[in-house]
Structure 1
Amino acid sequence: MKLKNLYITVFAFSTLAVLLITVNGCKKAIDVGPSIVNANSSNAFTSNSSAQSTVAGIYSYLSAGSFFQGSNSVSLGMGLAADELKTTSSGSQSLGLLYSNSYSAVSPPSFWSEFYKEIFFCNTTIKGISESGQITPSVKNQLVSELKFFRGFIYFYAVNLYGTPPLTTTDDYQNNNTLSNSTAATVYAQILQDLNDAKAGLPDNIYVDASGAAVTDRVRPNKQVAAAMLARVYLYLQNWRSAENEASELIGNSRYTLVKDLNQVFLKGSTEIIFALQPVSKTYLNTIDANFLVVSASYALTTQLALNNQLVSAFEQKDQRRSKWIGTFTTTTNPVTTFSFANKYKVSSLSSTVAVTEYPIAMRLAEQYLIRAEARAQQSNLSGAKDDLNAIRDRAGLDPTLASGQTELLNAILQERRLELFTEWGHRWLDLKRSNNLDNVMSIAVPLKGGSWMPYKAILPIPPSDILANPNLKQNPGYN
């Protein structure tokens, strides 16, 4: 169904335009300029509808690109940096640098500026809504809770990709101009606070639109979405009991089920979806990522990304994910080359008449099974861990795991994450990093990609313009 008054409104884009001008007009990402509350206070937060439209503008910005999907997305960028994706031609320079792991302080990935642009949107809008006396309490609670979820979500990626990113929850540009690096523990504490606040304030077991009316599309966060993200965060913090408990909230909820038909998992009506974004682009009516991942002759292979051969070889022969989620394309010109490509999302057509059948998915139930499997294994509940792992394997047409013992089972779970979550949200890179396997894997994978691996590249470089403009901000080790 089409969500009324949710993502795209004229007011939403006019408000967002002021936000973007404020951010893009500055010389550094942390220096976000004067507050949008001051710049646009006469319009943005004077009523329920104006506040809802302001938040809709943020949703639209996230869905239209940013680090959520497209050429600057975490899924594509970190899939290239890891051992999931490869370029099919010279293509984009930034994608090529990630693929060869040749990023540097001179040529950094673009995630940093996107993270802080979007954090600024959240901070400014949270303040404006919270301080407004013209927004009803129920609307205020819903919108602030949604924004806190997004802020926690964004900071999760900031801390995992950059190590010690500055933490700011204010729109005070003078303070933001002088921020120093924060410890990972400090950032994680804020992530947990935001996600727990969001979980407490969001609607329970129902998806709603901006007005609070129930909808079928799962494109705004609810209490279960916050729980799913908390499960992921607790897993990374090795808080196994909390990770298991949060994941169990999703697995035990009849609203969410593993979709048996693998061709149906990534459709917008999939019951496996926990949270997705509604497409807003007039060019990419379904997902933007499919236009990079579904390799075909129509785009002359200039920007498309194929799957790494080692990933394809890792699937068992009878694994249905190999036949349903991986496609092949053979060129017709010399040298004749056959590419394997990610075919989870299947609609790459740019036709204005193509049906909207796929939404970019941020979280789905399969991840929660694998989170709980790992958390249970870490707590020596090996039978429970096997049950969760086998739920994913059974859906893929595989026999139950033969892993025995805690170490072997944990390795099997990590391997299953590789095969189930490939090209989704940088999971492979982050899993290798948190399991202390990144150096071992990349020291073999990167030379095959034409690059050289150094352990410091596990953390990305901060853009040099920010370092030069803010003496309190320190570059990550290895990039000076």
Structure 2
Amino acid sequence: MKTIKHIIIILILAIVQYLLVSCEKLIEVDLPENQIGSQQVFEDVGTANSALAGLYAGLWDNSPLAGDQSGSLLSIYTDEMDFFALNSNPGMAEIFQNQQIDSNSSIANYWTNAYQKIYQANAIIEGSEKSSSLPTMEKNRIKGEALLVRSVLYFYLNQLFGDIPYVISTDYQINKNISKTNGLEMLNKLENDLTTTVSLLTDQYRSPERIIPNRKVAQLVLAKILVLEKKYADAEILLKQINSSSLYQFQPDISKVFKKNNSGVLWQLKPLNQGQATKESVLYFFSNTAPPSYALSSSLINSFLPTDLRRQQWIASVSASGQTWYRVEKYKNKTDNPDEYSVVFRLEEVLLLLAETLASQGKIDEALPYLNATRLRAALSPISQPINQQNILNEILMENKREFFTEMGHRFFDLKKAQKLDTLVPTKPNWKNFHQKWPLPQKELLLNSNLKPQNSGY
């Protein structure tokens, strides 16, 4: 019996990998006769969970949440990192130099990878809804997990591209000619989807390693959407529920923030293979030589005081040929990796977002402890009264810069939310106002004319 179930799981993953080659071709290919269909997948909780496992593995391997995607792309797009492999990677070079065009391969891959995972999530949602054999609680949980993943991916796409297709079906005939959804309308749809997700999931983690998101993760993503919609009081309620949960404890030791057993982690992605290093630790590493690809920018380095423990423990200096560069050192394990996974969300984001929601409502005294938590851990003096609303919001933005550098595109999203992307001009000479959005991939516009017009400036 175990052997048969193992074979079924392998076939599910094979189907997923086989089908997710190109979003526009997903439904054109019939399943081979020797492979199982989606109805069979969702007749059993174990095989349905295997479909979800394939989705999570794909997030780590190749998606906006992968360690070599948003973190690196948006860090060189903003003011966190410099990029040195200009000749060998023209797509990344364009992004670093803020000269991207609609045929940029890195941007096209980002879009495609996201929509492939969205399709996979939609297939799981449809399968769980149509299943007549799954228990109701399991159907809700399976749908909730897939809906949460889809919402996170749409959040990234919405913030980067603006108006995008809101695809909720696996029907190719529907999807091939789908039009764009207005960016503000998309936020409303995500608010509704995440509200549903919160009702479907529970606080209990399905994995003690927190590699599968729970209701609190959904509440955090919903709070992020509500802040974008300026619904600060509603976001405050959700964030306080997360912060007061016994599931999470603020990690006082800065050297343990990126360890997989940190109780301040809300959700993290596990490497595909046992002992495999995180993508972040490998991607950003260089030693005794000039950086082959990435190094932290002087803008980022200069934002730290020398006494800041994050400057001391999350950044390493590298000297060669009379020059000094700085590399990211948040993840320490470069080869054998017994204790690090890629963190997607952690409690520190909850605290700083809570500080922002409170400050935005004029509750400055209440906001200060949440702002100061990460500062005090980093051995910095606390921010205190008197301070006005704009200045505390500026301090929160700077604290996010120092706390979350190179993590999941955090800097770009924070600047965009604060309407301060144009402050990049002094450090990014080619920056223009229209760079707040990326161009829609040229090949997508050629496949579907309903995606036109192209974003302004491209």
CA contact (8 A) 2:318 2:325 kept: yes
Query: What is residue 327 of structure 1 aligned with on the other side?
Result: 316
| Match of residue 292, structure 1, among 283, 288, 297 | 283
Query: What is residue 212 of structure 1 aligned with on the other side?
Result: none
CA contact (8 A) 1:178 1:470 kept: yes
The offset of 1:42, in angstroms, is 5.8
For structure 1, list consecutive stretches of 5 or more residues without a partner in the other structure.
Answer: 209-214
* Cα distance in 2 between the residues matched to 1:310 and 1:470: 40
The letter for the 1-side match of 2:152 is F
* Cα distance in 1 between the residues matched to 2:387 and 2:112: 45
CA contact (8 A) 1:19 1:36 kept: no
Residues 42 and 202 of structure 1: is their aligned pair in 2 closer, same or farther, counting only changes over 3 Å? closer
The letter for the 2-side match of 1:23 is L
Deviates more, 1:357-366 or 1:422-431: 422-431
Matched, 1:20 2:12: no
Query: What is residue 27 of structure 2 aligned with on the other side?
Result: 33
CA contact (8 A) 2:121 2:150 kept: yes
The offset of 1:104, in angstroms, is 0.7
The offset of 1:70, in angstroms, is 3.6
* Cα distance in 1 between the residues matched to 2:247 and 2:44: 33
Q: What secondary structure does 1:348 align onto?
A: coil
Deviates more, 1:461-470 or 1:284-293: 284-293
- Structure 1 residues 364-411: Cα deviation after superposition (integer angstroms, max 9, x where no partner): 000111111111011110101112111121111111115611111111
CA contact (8 A) 2:103 2:443 kept: no
Q: What secondary structure does 2:102 align onto?
A: coil
Deviates more, 1:161-170 or 1:81-90: 81-90
CA contact (8 A) 2:440 2:455 kept: no
Q: What secondary structure does 1:444 align onto?
A: coil
Matched, 1:61 2:58: yes
- Structure 1 residues 407-433: Cα deviation after superposition (integer angstroms, max 9, x where no partner): 111111111111111111111111111
The letter for the 1-side match of 2:27 is G
Query: What is residue 93 of structure 2 aligned with on the other side?
Result: 96
The letter for the 2-side match of 1:344 is K
Query: What is residue 417 of structure 1 aligned with on the other side?
Result: 400
The offset of 1:10, in angstroms, is 5.9
Query: What is residue 376 of structure 2 aligned with on the other side?
Result: 394
Query: What is residue 346 of structure 1 aligned with on the other side?
Result: 332
The offset of 1:475, in angstroms, is 4.2
- Structure 1 residues 281-307: Cα deviation after superposition (integer angstroms, max 9, x where no partner): 46x713111111233359x843x4211
* Cα distance in 1 between the residues matched to 2:24 and 2:359: 40
CA contact (8 A) 2:75 2:406 kept: yes
Q: What secondary structure does 1:306 align onto?
A: strand
* Cα distance in 2 between the residues matched to 1:152 and 1:279: 22
Taking the TM superposition and a 5 Å limit, the aligned residue runs for 1:80-91 are 80-90=76-86, 91=88
Q: What secondary structure does 1:328 align onto?
A: strand
Query: What is residue 274 of structure 1 aligned with on the other side?
Result: 266
- Structure 1 residues 422-465: Cα deviation after superposition (integer angstroms, max 9, x where no partner): 111111111111212112x2222222xxxx22211110111111
| Match of residue 367, structure 1, among 330, 333, 349 | 349
Matched, 1:383 2:365: yes
For structure 2, list consecutive stretches of 5 or more residues without a partner in the other structure.
Answer: none
- Structure 1 residues 300-319: Cα deviation after superposition (integer angstroms, max 9, x where no partner): 843x4211111110112321
* Cα distance in 2 between the residues matched to 1:114 and 1:160: 16
Matched, 1:428 2:422: no
The offset of 1:101, in angstroms, is 1.5
In the superposition, the TM-score normalised over structure 1's length comes to: 0.88
* Cα distance in 1 between the residues matched to 2:31 and 2:368: 51
Q: What secondary structure does 2:246 align onto?
A: coil
* Cα distance in 1 between the residues matched to 2:183 and 2:167: 13
Taking the TM superposition and a 5 Å limit, the aligned residue runs for 1:310-321 are 310-321=299-310
Query: What is residue 457 of structure 1 aligned with on the other side?
Result: 435
The letter for the 2-side match of 1:443 is V
CA contact (8 A) 1:16 1:58 kept: no
In the superposition, the TM-score normalised over structure 2's length comes to: 0.92
Query: What is residue 227 of structure 1 aligned with on the other side?
Result: 219
* Cα distance in 2 between the residues matched to 1:150 and 1:468: 28
CA contact (8 A) 2:12 2:51 kept: yes
Percent sequence identity over aligned pairs: 27
Residues 140 and 438 of structure 1: is their aligned pair in 2 closer, same or farther, counting only changes over 3 Å? same
* Cα distance in 1 between the residues matched to 2:229 and 2:24: 26
- Structure 1 residues 125-172: Cα deviation after superposition (integer angstroms, max 9, x where no partner): 110121011222222121111001101111111110010011111111
Matched residue count: 448
* Cα distance in 2 between the residues matched to 1:345 and 1:164: 35
* Cα distance in 2 between the residues matched to 1:69 and 1:394: 30
- Structure 1 residues 197-251: Cα deviation after superposition (integer angstroms, max 9, x where no partner): 22112122x211xxxxxx4211111111111212222122211111211111121
CA contact (8 A) 1:37 1:124 kept: no
Query: What is residue 133 of structure 2 aligned with on the other side?
Result: 134
Deviates more, 1:307-316 or 1:430-439: 430-439
Matched, 1:207 2:193: no
Matched, 1:167 2:177: no
Residues 13 and 239 of structure 1: is their aligned pair in 2 closer, same or farther, counting only changes over 3 Å? farther
